[in-house]
Structure 1
Amino acid sequence: MQLPQIRIESQQAILGIRTKNATQEIKQPHADVQIIQPKAELSIETKKGQLTIDQTKAWEDMKLYSPLRSIEVSAQKGKQAWLEGIARRAQEGEQLMKIENGTNAITDIAYQKVKPETLNFNIGWIPSHFSVKIHYEPGDVEIQAQPRKTEINVTPQKPIISYTSGDVTYHLEQRPELNIEFVNLKHTGKGFETTI
């Protein structure tokens, strides 16, 4: 007895894939920055201090006068002596008018002219204290500063972008196959015999 059979053998396809990754590079150049700082305007005005020393009184204490002051002092002394002379003569005239009263007017007048002058002596300082006058006016400093703004100029740079696209390739590493066989099985008593 024969039994027909079908044998089917199949081989699957094997697909190979090769990929190349995409690459991207980005470079960012630095921006150009220019900074200009103008100098501030500075104005300084100074007023000098003034020192005044007046030592006129000290020189006068030492009887040292300037020409004009010497004339002024001499004129004052002459005027004072003239007034004292007028007063003395008036007093002597009054004494002489009263001679009839029995006074000794002529003798008194003569004695007053020749009597020694009483001099007073005391300790003194030449020149006298605080005879030198000092006056000081302090100076002044006026500072004016006018700041200037900073000038900043920025030039941005565009980024540099380079892109390489990737790739995908396909190839068939193993072709698909399908084998079909028709087989007859024959029973021989000992087993089955195959006939194609």
Structure 2
Amino acid sequence: MEIPKLIMHSVQAKIGLTTTPASLKMEQPQADLEIKQPQADMEMSVTPGKLTIDQTQAWEELDRKHIFKRIEEASQKGRQDVMDGIARTAEEGAELMRIENGANPIASQAKRNAALHKIQLGENYAPSFSRVKVQYTPSQLEINVTPHKPVIQAEPHKPVVEYMPGDVKVDMLQYPDLKIEVEYPKE
């Protein structure tokens, strides 16, 4: 026994796609911007430097003294000379009281008082630099700065967006087809 044959012929479908791409345009306008920077407040104060030079001792070594200093020294020397004179007179009186001891106090006192005493003159022509007193106080600078924050005004703009959607068109280029044939065996 023979079985009939089935013969199938098929044609597949063909689809055609036509696409239009989407388009997107975006623009961002710049913001309106205004910036102001106020100047800082600045205050400066200066304490001036001070230079003090005291050359009194150097001038005194050159014997160029102030009149008050000379008067004070003369009064001290006069006081000392008076005290020395009193001591010398008391000593000479004590010598005269002991005249009986056989000495010749009058002659020895006369000889002693007649002797020349060397007088030393103050001849100082160059005082040392250490006698000049120099004192310096440096100046001081004080600066106070008060900064101010900037004033910023900004007005943003919205972005400009243009969008066109895409499109897809579907076309049937070939329809499907199926043919079935039955073939019987020949007898």
TM-score, with length taken from structure 1 = 0.60
Secondary structure, counterpart of 1:126 in structure 2: coil
Matching of residues 1-196 of structure 1 within 5 Å: 28-118=28-118, 126-159=126-159
Secondary structure, counterpart of 1:130 in structure 2: helix
Which whole-Å CA distance do the structure 2 matches of 1:117 and 1:62 have between them? 24
For residue 16 of structure 1, what is the aligned residue in structure 2?
none
RMSD value over aligned CA atoms? 3.3
Which whole-Å CA distance do the structure 2 matches of 1:135 and 1:154 have between them? 60
Larger radius of gyration: 1
CA contact (8 A) 2:51 2:135 kept: yes
Which whole-Å CA distance do the structure 2 matches of 1:97 and 1:36 have between them? 110
CA contact (8 A) 1:46 1:140 kept: yes
Secondary structure, counterpart of 1:94 in structure 2: helix
CA contact (8 A) 2:62 2:125 kept: no
CA contact (8 A) 2:52 2:135 kept: yes
Structure 2 gaps, min length 5: 1-21, 165-187
Residue type of the alignment partner of 1:105:
P
Task: Write out the 4+ residue segments of structure 1 that deviate beyond 6 Å after TM superposition.
Answer: 22-26, 161-164
Shift of 1:125: 5.4
Q: How many residues get paired? A: 146
Shift of 1:55: 0.7
Which whole-Å CA distance do the structure 2 matches of 1:39 and 1:161 have between them? 42
CA contact (8 A) 1:61 1:128 kept: no
Check 1:101–1:126 CA distance in 2 against 1; reply closer, same or farther (3 A cut): farther
**Matched-pair identity in %:** 39
Residues 5-46 of structure 1 deviation map (CA, whole Å, 9 limit, x = unaligned)? xxxxxxxxxxxxxxxxx9987654421211111222222222
Residue type of the alignment partner of 1:79:
R
TM-score, with length taken from structure 2 = 0.63
Shift of 1:119: 6.0
Residue type of the alignment partner of 1:92:
E
Check 1:119–1:76 CA distance in 2 against 1; reply closer, same or farther (3 A cut): closer
Structure 1 gaps, min length 5: 1-21, 165-196
Q: Structure 1 residues 154-163 or 38-47, which shifts more? A: 154-163
Which whole-Å CA distance do the structure 2 matches of 1:99 and 1:128 have between them? 53
